[in-house]
């Protein structure tokens, strides 16, 4: 583990970088960390979340979320299907969810107040999985690595775990350190891309892509003082709803084909 973190820090210092093409065809700068390092950081962040937050003991709720995740994962490209995906339902009234590299999905119980059927829940989770399969975490970390902030986070990661010189930075960063790497803000471009990728994914899995529109409308109505991440980067939620609605129409044939070929989710 120490070797891993040191190599992450070294790669960061050298600002190693590669380009790839995102699912919607944009050029991405990635590669400051390897996929294996990213998966390991995802697993660590998930472990931190589980150590900090109570998990739901409602077996029906837990199997409902797992069912939606499984049905979405079943239609992912092979690379992601082979990952063993893990889900957790956290007791928290915020309508929130996240997905991490390494196949980790977390859902807050508050999500059920806005995701009122399995298709709406699939819309949220597919959006989050969309960030993972579009390499948005890699892209964000690569960008951050080239700044003091990124190096600081890595120093913090090293210091906190091994009590080395950077421990003070760790205190300043606070909270879960691996999680810190993943709460870097999404760009608006990434949000739109996760919307596109997620809505395609839900249709291919046999979830009604039109329900994404209702989900985001419920989300806006729920509002609240702390908007969830998918609202925070969108200054104009109504235009986002408009885009989801116009894309939904185009995805209905793909949805119907999925249903006809046996993708008929029965999660709850």
Write the DSSP string, 66-85: HHHHHHHHTTS-HHHHSS--
- Closest distance between Zn ion and the C-beta of residue 191, in Å? 5
- Closest distance between Zn ion and the C-beta of residue 96, in Å? 11
> Considering the rule CB under 5 A, would residue 46 count as an interface residue with Zn ion?
no
Q: Which is nearer to Zn ion, 159 or 227 (CB)?
A: 227
Q: Among all residues, whose Cβ is closest to Zn ion?
A: 230
DSSP classification of residue 15: T
- Closest distance between Zn ion and the C-beta of residue 198, in Å? 8
Interface with Zn ion by CB under 5 A: which range of 33-41, 203-211, 222-230, 242-250?
A: 222-230
Task: Print the SS3 string covering 84-118.
Answer: CCEEEEECCCCCCEEEECCCEEEEEHHHHHCCCCH
Q: Please list the alpha-helical segments (H only) found in the chain.
A: 2-13, 35-52, 59-73, 78-81, 118-133, 136-145, 148-162, 167-173, 177-182, 188-204, 211-222, 229-232, 237-260
Q: Are strands 104-108 and 97-100 parallel, antiparallel or unpaired?
A: antiparallel
Is residue 48 annotated as a catalytic residue, yes or no? no
Among 48, 86, 94, 128, which one carries the catalytic annotation? Answer: 128
- Closest distance between Zn ion and the C-beta of residue 74, in Å? 22
Interface with Zn ion by CB under 5 A: which range of 1-9, 75-83, 226-234, 239-247?
A: 226-234
Q: Which of 9, 194, 196, 202 binds Zn ion (CB under 5 A)?
A: 194
Total residues at interface with Zn ion (CB under 5 A): 3
Say how far residue 141 (Cα) sits from the centre of its chain: 14
Q: Which of 85, 98, 230, 255 binds Zn ion (CB under 5 A)?
A: 230
Footprint of Zn ion (CB under 5 A) = 191, 194, 230
Annotated catalytic residues are: 128
């Amino acid at each position: 583990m120490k070797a891993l973190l040191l190599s992450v820090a070294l790669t960061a210092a050298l600002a190693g970088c590669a380009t790839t093409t995102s699912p919607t065809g944009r050029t991405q700068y990635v590669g400051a960390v390897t996929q294996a390092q990213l998966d390991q950081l995802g697993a660590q962040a998930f472990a931190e979340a589980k150590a900090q937050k109570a998990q739901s003991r409602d077996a029906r709720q837990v199997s409902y979320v797992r069912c939606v995740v499984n049905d979405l994962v079943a239609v992912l490209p092979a690379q992601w299907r082979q990952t063993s995906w893990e889900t957790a339902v956290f007791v928290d009234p915020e309508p929130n969810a996240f997905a991490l590299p390494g196949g980790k999905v977390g859902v807050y119980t508050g999500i059920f107040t806005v995701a009122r059927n399995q298709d709406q829940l699939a819309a949220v989770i597919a959006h989050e999985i969309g960030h993972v399969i579009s390499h948005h975490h890699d892209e964000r970390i690569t960008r951050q690595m080239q700044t003091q902030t990124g190096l600081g986070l890595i120093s913090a990661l090293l210091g906190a775990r091994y009590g080395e010189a950077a421990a003070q930075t760790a205190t300043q960063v606070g909270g879960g350190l691996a999680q810190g790497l993943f709460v870097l803000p999404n760009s608006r471009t990434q949000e739109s891309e996760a919307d596109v990728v997620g809505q395609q994914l839900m249709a291919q899995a046999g979830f009604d892509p039109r329900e994404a529109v209702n989900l985001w409308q419920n989300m806006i109505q729920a509002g609240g003082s702390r908007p969830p991440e998918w609202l925070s980067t969108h200054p104009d939620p109504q235009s986002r709803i408009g885009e989801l609605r116009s894309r939904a129409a185009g995805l209905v044939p793909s949805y119907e084909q999925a249903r006809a070929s046996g993708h008929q989710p029965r999660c709850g």
